Amino acid sequence: MMTGTGYARSQRGEEEKKEEGKEAQEAVPEQKRVEKKKVPPKGPPPVAMVDASHLGGFVNIDATDQIAGRLCSKVAKLILGGKRVTVVNAERALISGARNSVIRQWMERLEISSRVNPIYGPIHPRRPDTILRRMVRGMVPRRKPKGAAAMKRLRIYIGVPEEMKAMNFGRFEDAQATRPIPVYITVKELSKNLGWSG
């Protein structure tokens, strides 16, 4: 145990500091805590602009004036999440890029075939609905069971089928065309150049 004047002085000094601290706390009125409001993080809007809660997992989408690549990525995410997705007006979807270069690239793709027997594939889609379906297929793990099951939940139509005309169709906000529509090439125009006779 420590003894002596030095120890006594240090004890007195600590007691004085404690008393000063108490007096200072009593003199200053209690400040109310200001709660900061939580700001939602900035980022892209949610995937589905379509409310599928009342449809029991069925999502209907109109592809009119939607960028095909962005539309297909959203659809791929939905079907992998277990939703049943129906896309109508596939021929009105848009492909961004210079018209001539887009057509030239797709024409070059048609030349890829088996050297032994071209009937073995690859089979190149020419119809608007099959073009969009192939785009979605490239965005899911189609060789795995979950990817194969996801593709079975997808339906794509040219135009609007008679039995679906009374239904409500949604669109994806961030897949909407941002430039004037004539700047883009439609999937229908591309299909016509690939040899589709529809």
Tell me the per-residue pLDDT of 6-63, one tens digit each, with 9 for 90 and over: 555 556 666 665 666 555 555 545 555 555 565 555 544 444 455 444 445 899 999 9
Enter the DSSP assignment of 198: -
Q: Which token pair is 2? A: 């420590």
Q: Which token pair is 150? A: 């996801």
Chain position carrying tokens 């962005």: 70
Predicted local confidence at residue 158, as pLDDT: 97
Please state the rounded mean pLDDT for residues 81-109.
Answer: 96
Maximal CA-CA distance, the chain: 108
Q: Which token pair is 66? A: 């939607």
Strands 94-95 and 154-156: unpaired
CA distance 88 to 156: 6
pTM of the model: 0.70
Evaluate whether 71 touches 96 at the Cβ level (below 8 Å): no
Please state the rounded mean pLDDT for residues 164-186.
Answer: 94
Predicted local confidence at residue 43, as pLDDT: 44
CA atoms within 13 A on the CB side of 110: 15
- Beta-carbon contacts of residue 172 (< 8 Å; ≥ 6 apart): 47, 48, 49, 61, 66, 70, 71, 74
Tell me the per-residue pLDDT of 115-161, one tens digit each, with 9 for 90 and over: 888 888 888 999 999 999 999 999 999 999 999 999 999 999 999 99
